[in-house]
A and B are shown apart, each in its own frame.
Chain A
Amino acid sequence: MSIDTETARRVAKLARIKVEDDALPALAAEFSAILGFIEQLNEVDVEGVEPMTSVTPQRLKRREDVVTDGDQQEAVLKNAPDAREGFFAVPKVVE
Chain B
Amino acid sequence: MTDLTKLTIAQARDAMRKGDTSSAEITATCLTAIEDAGALNAFVHKTPEIATEQAAAADARIKAGDAPAMCGIPLGIKDLFCTKGVPSQAASRILEGFKPEYESTVTTQLFDAGAVMLGKLNMDEFAMGSSNETSVYGDAVNPWKVDDRNLTPGGSSGGSASAVAADLCLAATGTDTGGSIRQPAAFTGITGLKPTYGRVSRWGVVAFASSLDQAGPMTKDVRDAAIMLQAMCGHDPKDSTSADLAVPDFEAALTGDIKGKVIGIPKEYRMDGMPAEIAKLWEDGTAMLKDAGAVIKDISLPHTKYALPAYYVIAPAEASSNLARYDGVRFGHRAKLDAGDGITEMYEKTRAEGFGHEVQRRVMVGTYVLSAGFYDAYYNRARRVRALIKRDFDNVFADGVDAILTPTTPSAAFGLGEMTDADPIQMYLNDVFTVTVNLAGLPGIAVPTGTDASGLPLGLQLIGRPWEEADLLNVAYSLEQTAGFVAKPTKWW
A20 to chain B, nearest CB (A): 9
Residues of B within 8 A of A51 (CB): 380, 383-384, 386-387
Instruction: Report yes or no: B309 in contact with A79, Cβ–Cβ below 8 A.
Output: no
Instruction: Report yes or no: A56 in contact with B198, Cβ–Cβ below 8 A.
Output: yes
Given known A-B contacts A11-B368, A38-B313, A79 and B346 have beta carbons under 8 A apart: no
Instruction: Report yes or no: A38 in contact with B355, Cβ–Cβ below 8 A.
Output: no
Task: Determine whether A90 belongs to the interface, using a CB cutoff of 8 Å to chain B.
Answer: yes
Residues of A within 8 A of B383 (CB): 51-53
CA distance A34 to B277 in the complex (A): 30
Residues of A within 8 A of B386 (CB): 51-52
Give the nearest-CB partner of B379 in chain A: A51
Task: Determine whether A17 belongs to the interface, using a CB cutoff of 8 Å to chain B.
Answer: yes
Instruction: Report yes or no: A34 in contact with B425, Cβ–Cβ below 8 A.
Output: yes
Task: Determine whether A66 belongs to the interface, using a CB cutoff of 8 Å to chain B.
Answer: no
B443 to chain A, nearest CB (A): 12
Task: Among A11, A46, A54, point to the contact of B371 (Cβ < 8 A).
Answer: A11
Contact with A along B59-75 (1 / 0, CB 8 A): 00000000000000000
CA distance A61 to B309 in the complex (A): 32
Residues of B within 8 A of A33 (CB): 423-425
Query: 4 new A-B pairs (CB below 8 Å) besides A81-B329, A91-B342?
Result: A27-B361, A37-B308, A54-B241, A81-B334
Within 338-369 of B, Cβ neighbours of A (below 8 Å) are at 341-349, 351-352, 355, 360-361, 363-365, 367-369
Within 36-78 of A, Cβ neighbours of B (below 8 Å) are at 37-44, 46, 49-56, 58, 60-61, 63, 72, 75-76, 78
Residues of B within 8 A of A84 (CB): none
CA distance A81 to B326 in the complex (A): 12
B275 to chain A, nearest CB (A): 22
Task: Determine whether B92 belongs to the interface, using a CB cutoff of 8 Å to chain A.
Answer: no
Give the nearest-CB partner of B344 in chain A: A16
Contact with A along B435-448 (1 / 0, CB 8 A): 00001110000000
Residues of A within 8 A of B361 (CB): 27, 30, 34
Instruction: Report yes or no: A40 in contact with B101, Cβ–Cβ below 8 A.
Output: no
Give the nearest-CB partner of B312 in chain A: A38
Q: List 17 A-B contacts (CB under 8 A).
A: A15-B363, A33-B425, A34-B424, A34-B425, A37-B425, A41-B385, A42-B381, A46-B381, A49-B388, A50-B384, A51-B387, A53-B383, A54-B241, A56-B466, A58-B198, A79-B101, A88-B329
Number of chain B residues close to chain A: CB under 8 A: 73
Contact with B along A1-18 (1 / 0, CB 8 A): 001000110011011111
Interface of A is mostly: loop
CA distance A38 to B101 in the complex (A): 39
Give the nearest-CB partner of B442 in chain A: A55
Instruction: Report yes or no: A34 in contact with B365, Cβ–Cβ below 8 A.
Output: yes
Binding site for B on A (CB under 8 A): 3, 7-8, 11-12, 14-19, 27, 30-31, 33-35, 37-44, 46, 49-56, 58, 60-61, 63, 72, 75-76, 78-82, 88, 90-93
Task: Determine whether B328 belongs to the interface, using a CB cutoff of 8 Å to chain A.
Answer: yes
CA distance A92 to B340 in the complex (A): 10
CA distance A55 to B466 in the complex (A): 10
Q: Which 7 pairs across A and B sit closest by C-beta, in order of nearness?
A: A55-B441, A51-B383, A81-B334, A79-B331, A46-B384, A18-B348, A18-B352
Instruction: Report yes or no: B334 in contact with A82, Cβ–Cβ below 8 A.
Output: yes
CA distance A90 to B344 in the complex (A): 10
CA distance A47 to B69 in the complex (A): 50
Instruction: Report yes or no: A44 in contact with B303, Cβ–Cβ below 8 A.
Output: yes
Instruction: Report yes or no: B333 in contact with A27, Cβ–Cβ below 8 A.
Output: no
Task: Among A58, A60, A76, A91, point to the contact of B337 (Cβ < 8 A).
Answer: A91
Instruction: Report yes or no: B367 in contact with A15, Cβ–Cβ below 8 A.
Output: yes
Give the nearest-CB partner of B337 in chain A: A91
Contact with A along B417-433 (1 / 0, CB 8 A): 00000011100100000
Contact with A along B277-321 (1 / 0, CB 8 A): 000000000000000000000000001011011101100000010
Most chain B beta carbons < 10 A, residue from A12, A31, A44, A90 = A44
Instruction: Report yes or no: A79 in contact with B99, Cβ–Cβ below 8 A.
Output: yes
